[in-house]
Structure 1
């Protein structure tokens, strides 16, 4: 996977809350936590408290902090496809207590912090502020689907704040106050907050505060900084209170006061409810307005529906998972749901971004990420899994495309809120991604039984398959190559070679190095017109994927009552299997390799994890699988401490921390492990899975990472990475 193109207060007693939300159905016990934290009993949700460390407060508007790095160190929570997210305050920063960190919002494609804590509740009595740690330190807890803060104030007052999402544009915050003392209390409530502004213009001046009748809002100027900040001037963040309030704005800060005091007799409780909505357009705001009104009118219903939904997620994701691994499964679900973005801009269906924690991965969908993410998501949210696949096929090139009709059937590499016509630089049609879509569709169908979905996707999948053989088979021998499209970015053979490496998803893998002989060749149609580029090698993973793709098309055709088509697809898959098996396996070294167009196996480039794909696809022979199994478990090959690096230790190009030249990627490890299992090496597959999970520290509270150091298991690159989360679910 490549980086996108740059040049190329709330309150409530826990006791009262129990009356507010019905108990969830029980699930199988999973009591142990990886970090020794006690595991509460109760609902499915409460049993998985704090699987991720969600405490943190930003110091600058830029998520990377003072150094303006690309990765945000504060893990956030979002739900229902929202484009704004929150975290819990930190225990050692009392000034931020009484509110939730953030929000982190997406300026269409890039994440920024709007505030350290935009809505901070303050309570006063007799003109004096009440200390939120009056009777001890507060407790900050993340639960599946909820952020919670619990405070014990002087005199028996209890305050609980909870944040959950009412919709894909609106968070609902409930502050519940309970008087457990002996005296009546009369309190005043107010909220304060201020903006965190970006350092540089024009984005520094983009946000502006304004008071409203029901609270406070932030408007945004139009800014078109394609690599940093994109707004149309129609975006709006708005806080709306259920009770009457008065607001004053002063510069970058505001204060909202409850219009009437709160009177609490002993043993009684009350709640304050408000919503925080982030919308991109006036049309979105009009559609969201009734949802906001319903959430404020029936907050209990929002809470109950959210708990039912999350209990369902947890129950499904942990089904069949050993007790000691269930927290990892829930962490995977939380990661995927936070990275879920609902339809907006050019994104017509909901999907899952690679990582909200990474600047370049926060605002768009990638093709092969989506295929893998759909497989994991189908285990707990199958409707979202279907929409993820649609989100890429919405942009499949058609024969009447005015710019690139020769690419009919192709699915772009990456799609974002903005395409290139709208000033986006991350949208990418200069290459596609490995053909795993039919596998994803079939796996989602296995979870849903939705034959209409198969019927919808079948012609799109066949058109995609046809594109590969029409546009990526330079020598017309039935084996394909990675390449690039006719695109302004592919303006030279070197740029086309780079696009081909991106198309593989293994950007800087040794097998694509120009200095080792990889170059791009022009492809033409029968009339001599350029149709794109291919590199001068046939890749083992690509062709094994295409064999599997056609096998899955056969299954889909059979399920749709098209037996003749099913037979044809099955025959074509068998032909590709045989060609890969005979031309790309090297019996001397016991491994699969890419081959040059003249049929030479490129063994000098070393063994890469792509050579294990024929195990996963069922392409390899039994004898070949036996030899490959030895390489996958050997410590001096792929059996490292954290096993299954992308390049074997024996390779002269092994570099354990350099992206696709040695780190462990969970998706590639999944392919190798399931390949071993397919050929009967289940004991090896189980052992490698355990080592993988243990070395990566998946039971602790740290975020799931993009990849890992095979020697130590240390996480590398992006945090809270979606395909890691997604493929952990079937591994578990």
Structure 2
């Protein structure tokens, strides 16, 4: 395949059309305090979605990008967790499941310090937020300073990271653990199949799947898997969302979650220095997390990072896009970087249709090109891999992913994800993070060549 430099240049008119289309998606999905991922399938505010959305919004309005993150973090629990959903009270319960009456956060989560004035879920998503906050600040430092954006966010972001590194260090090895397949954001990945097999699913009559009102059953998780998701959430809720006392039959260390924690710790060090707080601890934690990530999650045979099942204390032998996200860590050993690039260019993750990275190994036994996170290529993970490659100087490879994102986003009507074998749009259209990250790549293209060894630029 050719480098972006060898491809026909995109026209100014085409870029302007793409920029306007991406901006329109974000404007249409804004609901006054934040942005919904999709007006149909996801009618509330999602945690890591909002971080990606803010990264794109900063190119339209730094103030609105600030509001996006402030709105999300206003729902933070007293124990530091940032919930994966903040519910819009004007949306009927039946429009999305699990709905607020399922999570019961303000009552079941009272012991963990859940807010009493709004409803949230009780689980979390990957920590992209400090990275997003630093990028938003840099987009308009004067506006950020005027509104005291970073001084107000820093204590919340620091508490969020403490929650992950303390309460969620379930394996005792120093990495943050996930306790539900919805937490890593890659809900239906084959990486969770074996750990989920231990879970007795909730009865089919105990819940109604609203997602099937907007998505084809062949693209969505099976009823069996969904029943297991529900049961895990019920058990966590009934334990008061208390990580110290809850039983965790599903507990894993995920490479994407921890790689994003590393990138956000580095961003938090920049924020700390800016607001006059001690930055060294964040830098040291990022370095220590990187060392631990390599020790606990690298697998030489797979040629990439794998998830660790904490119940069996074994690596899950399934390869997914999550295993490439540690490229974001600038102190990753160079030999591992080269192995990751080699794996990325191998038969498991390389197709002729798109340079977006499949969410699961094309040669794996569970590969499905259209079913949620079991093969489809997503724009947010492609953006993360592009950023990671550029961090380590693999500019030509990063350029190919960038070009593919920009080509595919507009052609797919800013789809949620695409079939990696055909490039066909799948899932929701006018998806917010697809539009936001397209806007970010269009707006930062001129600076790409200088963003070497600095993933927080």
TM-score (norm 2): 0.75
- Name the counterpart of 1:715: 425
- Name the counterpart of 2:42: 361
Instruction: Report how many residues are paired.
Output: 372
Distance 1:612 1:586 in 2: 12
Distance 2:165 2:246 in 1: 12
Deviates more, 1:429-438 or 1:380-389: 429-438
Distance 1:322 1:676 in 2: 26
Higher RCO (C-alpha 8 Å, min separation 6): 2
Distance 1:369 1:528, change over 3 A: closer
Distance 1:439 1:710, change over 3 A: same
Distance 1:479 1:673 in 2: 24
Distance 2:243 2:418 in 1: 46
**Higher-Rg member (1/2):** 1
Structure 2 unmatched ranges of 5 or more: 1-7, 101-118, 200-231, 443-457
Q: Does residue 379 in structure 1 map to residue 88 in structure 2?
A: no
- Name the counterpart of 1:501: 181
- Name the counterpart of 1:334: 24
- Name the counterpart of 1:674: 387
- The DSSP-based 3-state class of the residue aligned with 2:122 is coil
5 Å matches for 1:284-683? 324-342=14-32, 350-356=33-39, 358=40, 360-362=41-43, 364-398=44-78, 408-418=79-89, 425-426=99-100, 428-449=120-141, 450-451=144-145, 452-483=148-179, 500-514=180-194, 530=245, 533=248, 535-562=250-277, 565-597=278-310, 599-603=313-317, 605=318, 607-618=319-330, 620-643=332-355, 644-683=357-396
5 Å matches for 1:134-145? none
- The DSSP-based 3-state class of the residue aligned with 2:417 is strand
Distance 1:517 1:547, change over 3 A: farther
What are the Cα deviations for residues 389-448 of structure 1, in whole angstroms up to 9, with x where unaligned? 1111111112xxxxxxxxx21112112222999999255423111111111111111112
Distance 1:619 1:541, change over 3 A: farther
CA deviation after TM superposition for structure 1 residue 464, in Å: 1.1
Structure 1 unmatched ranges of 5 or more: 1-31, 35-320, 343-349, 399-407, 484-499
Distance 1:596 1:331, change over 3 A: same
Distance 1:528 1:329 in 2: 43
CA deviation after TM superposition for structure 1 residue 585, in Å: 1.3
Distance 2:263 2:334 in 1: 17
Indicate conservation of the 8 Å contact 1:373/1:722, yes or no: yes
Distance 2:92 2:18 in 1: 41
CA deviation after TM superposition for structure 1 residue 639, in Å: 4.0
Indicate conservation of the 8 Å contact 2:171/2:177, yes or no: no
Indicate conservation of the 8 Å contact 2:167/2:244, yes or no: no
CA deviation after TM superposition for structure 1 residue 638, in Å: 3.5
- The DSSP-based 3-state class of the residue aligned with 2:183 is helix
Question: Higher helix proportion, which one?
Answer: 2
Distance 1:609 1:619, change over 3 A: farther
What are the Cα deviations for residues 443-464 of structure 1, in whole angstroms up to 9, with x where unaligned? 1111121241110000011111
Two-structure CA RMSD over aligned residues (Å): 3.0
Distance 1:528 1:472, change over 3 A: closer
Distance 2:243 2:306 in 1: 31
5 Å matches for 1:687-698? 687-694=400-407, 696=408, 698=410
Distance 2:14 2:243 in 1: 61
Indicate conservation of the 8 Å contact 1:704/1:725, yes or no: yes
- The DSSP-based 3-state class of the residue aligned with 2:59 is coil
- Name the counterpart of 2:113: none
CA deviation after TM superposition for structure 1 residue 651, in Å: 1.5
Distance 1:617 1:729, change over 3 A: farther
CA deviation after TM superposition for structure 1 residue 477, in Å: 2.4
- The DSSP-based 3-state class of the residue aligned with 1:513 is helix
